Amino acid sequence: MSRERFTILLSPIGVKDNELIAVVKNSLLLRFNASIIVERKVSMGYLIDFYDERREQVNAENLITNLRREMPSNPLMRILFLIDADGYVSGLNFVFGIASYGWGGIVFLQRLKPEFYGLPSQETLFRVRVVKESLHELGHSLGLTHCNERTCVMRFSNTIWEVDTKSPDYCNRCKLLIERSYPGLIRVTI
């Protein structure tokens, strides 16, 4: 699969840290044979219709449903939103992200920040967490399910500690599954 054929659109919402965006973009380029385009598609004001004031969180299910409707993708494109907010889905207190198969995903940044837990800011740790969750949600959009491999980026994370214990890479099995569905998309050797 050539670079021009597969595209990942990286769209930050409310993210002012250009270095974070560059780190995520470069991490995606290291792992995928894809064009990575950074484009601010919507503003923070867009989120108001999906914000639950009582919870002080964004309803991730409603947001991704609406984004999918307004910004359709195609088989050779994925959209990844990085949103400086806290998200939730029905039945869970929060989510680090949400994805839709064949379309893309959303990563919510608030709970990935050490300061959310009362700790000092640690930019490197924060950026690694964002990369992991970006790869995780993109993996779901490419057809991967949660993985049982302890260090695989596709392992389910219910806590920030679980995010920290997994690696920022797909295990060989998950790489192979992506390769089967999207030949040539994975840059890292299997």
Q: How do the domains of the chain map onto residue ranges?
A: 7-143
* Catalytic annotation present for 137: yes
Tell me, what's the pLDDT at 104?
97
Residues of the chain with pLDDT under 70: 1-4, 188-190
Classify domain 7-143 by CATH number.
Answer: 3.40.390.10
Q: 93 CB contacts (<8 Å, ≥6 apart)?
A: none
How many other C-beta atoms can be found within 10 angstroms of the C-beta atom of residue 21? 18
Tell me, what's the pLDDT at 154?
98
How many other C-beta atoms can be found within 10 angstroms of the C-beta atom of residue 168? 18
Backbone angles phi, psi at 137, to 5 degrees: -70, -40
Q: Report which of 109, 151, 131 is spatially closest to residue 24, judged by C-alpha positions.
A: 131
Candidates 53, 133, 137, 162; catalytic one? 137
pTM of the model as a whole: 0.93
